Amino acid sequence: MLSAVTRIAEGLMRLLTGVAFLVIIAAVLLQLLGRGGWVPSLVWTEEISRFALLYLAAFGAGLSLRSGDMVNVDLISEAMPGSIPWFLRLLAALATLVGCAALIAPSWFYTSIGQRQTAPASGIRMDLIHGSVLVLVAGLALFALLRVVAMLRGTENGLPQRPEEDI
């Protein structure tokens, strides 16, 4: 059950990260075509590319935690004897989970502030953009929770889980 939830969460975040990246590619391509005179210059492309970059980071944060691509200072902790490295990895995952859980309510409030605001060039409601912070915090909390549960159940050791295609 836990591995299925992890696979679904990972697949969904990978898909959404790819969609955000495709939006950036499309916006930048439109910018270049506009600057070259191939299409009319579109003022909203700069804004859209920035917003997509926010979501790219938001969707990718949990994946980075899972794959070990986040900053990780484990030189000393992994050299320690016995089960100390496992305990420190569990402690780090718990700290990430608690920190993110503490930020969910404030990020929800931050998101709600943008409900009555719109982006100047694209007209997109800013709560949809501010929501990237909520997505980042919730996604990171989810992957930290999945790591904690898997470690306590003994199905993972807390080390980064590289996608099979990266191995």
Going by pLDDT thresholds of 50, 70 and 90, the confidence category of residue 165 is: low
For position 24, what pLDDT does the model report?
96
pLDDT at position 164 is 65
Per-residue pLDDT, 152: 95
For the chain, the structural domain boundaries read: 2-166
pLDDT tens digits for range 43-85: 899 999 999 999 999 999 999 998 888 777 777 888 888 889 9
pLDDT at 108: 95
What is the per-residue pLDDT for 26? 96
SS3 letters across the chain: CHHHHHHHHHHHHHHHHHHHHHHHHHHHHHHHHHHCCCCCCCCHHHHHHHHHHHHHHHHHHHHHHHHCCCCCCCCCHHHCCCCHHHHHHHHHHHHHHHHHHHHHHHHHHHHHHHHHCECCCCCCEHHHHHHHHHHHHHHHHHHHHHHHHHHHHCCCCCCCCCCHHHC
User: How much is the pLDDT for 79?
Assistant: 84
**pLDDT (tens digit per residue) in 93-144:** 999 999 999 999 999 999 999 888 999 988 899 999 999 999 999 999 999 9
Which tokens go with 165?
A: 């295609």
